[in-house]
Amino acid sequence: MKQYERIFEGALWQSRLIVLMAVVVSIAASLSMFFIATVDAVYTIGHLTHYASPEMNDAARSSLRGTTVAHVVEVVDGYLLGTILLIFGLGLYELFISKIDMAERSETSSSVLLIRSLDDLKSRLAKVILLILIVKFFEKAIDMEFDTPLNLLYLAIGILLIGATIFITHTKPEHGPKPAAKPEEEGPTS
């Protein structure tokens, strides 16, 4: 009976490797988003080559500026989505498969990419998702018509809520064990 239990538990333990599919797909989707955002950025920059042209009138320049800002916001949104997918893929790998030794040893490794628990992964993803929501809000605010005072009030309330959210997420204490306090060095007593 012990042998069957050991075989069954071994199979259960190895079933965690199914997460590799999600890791590979997340990394591939992340690379895709980085590629799409980079191509969009290159095309956006390419469209600006005639921005300083003396033949361009103020109305055309203003229109080009507006569409460029909207495209830049979309590019930032694409990069943030790619970042979420990268963090998600690396986090799943570290939680279910193995620690990434190179990331642990690297001095340049960002603490964002070192995932220690599921709560750690959720917290990091939530912060990047919050950034995407802020970018989306900015994108909508650019297109918004401010023809009534009520629309301006809505924008102000939205900005206030975003500011409050950022404040709350940065002042919330991190979960996990706190570092042990260092004993104070004893000096000469008088």
Domain boundaries, the chain: 2-50+64-171
Q: Which residues contact residue 92 at a Cβ distance below 8 angstroms, ignoring those fewer than 6 apart?
A: 19, 22, 23, 26, 121
Average pLDDT over residues 59-84: 86
The predicted pLDDT at position 161 comes to: 87
Q: Which of 38-42, 51-55, 70-74 has the lowest mean pLDDT?
A: 51-55
pLDDT tops 80 at residue 174: no
The predicted pLDDT at position 190 comes to: 42
The predicted pLDDT at position 96 comes to: 84
Residue 175 in tokens: 């979960």
Cβ neighbours around 126 below 10 Å, total: 12
The predicted pLDDT at position 28 comes to: 97
Residue 168 in tokens: 């709350």
Average pLDDT over residues 17-33: 94
The predicted pLDDT at position 59 comes to: 84
The predicted pLDDT at position 110 comes to: 62
pLDDT tops 50 at residue 186: no
Cβ neighbours around 9 below 10 Å, total: 10
Residue 58 in tokens: 């103020």
| Residue showing tokens 């079933």 | 15
pLDDT tops 90 at residue 39: yes
| Residue showing tokens 């950034």 | 131
Average pLDDT over residues 13-36: 92
User: Environment class of residue 127 by beta-carbon count within 10 Å: exposed (0-12), middle (13-18) or buried (19+)?
Assistant: middle
Average pLDDT over residues 11-20: 85
Residue 132 in tokens: 């995407």
The predicted pLDDT at position 64 comes to: 83
Residue 176 in tokens: 């996990």
pLDDT confidence of 82, banded at 50, 70, 90? very high
Average pLDDT over residues 13-27: 90
Condensed to tens digits (0 to 9), the pLDDT of residues 106-163 reads 776 666 666 777 887 888 788 888 888 888 888 778 777 778 888 888 888 888 888 8
CA 158 → CA 81, 98, 155, distances in Å?
Answer: 22, 42, 5
The residue among 135, 117, 134 whose CA lies nearest residue 77 is: 135
The predicted pLDDT at position 108 comes to: 65
Sign for the pseudo-dihedral over CA of 39, 130, 92, 5: negative
Cβ neighbours around 115 below 10 Å, total: 25
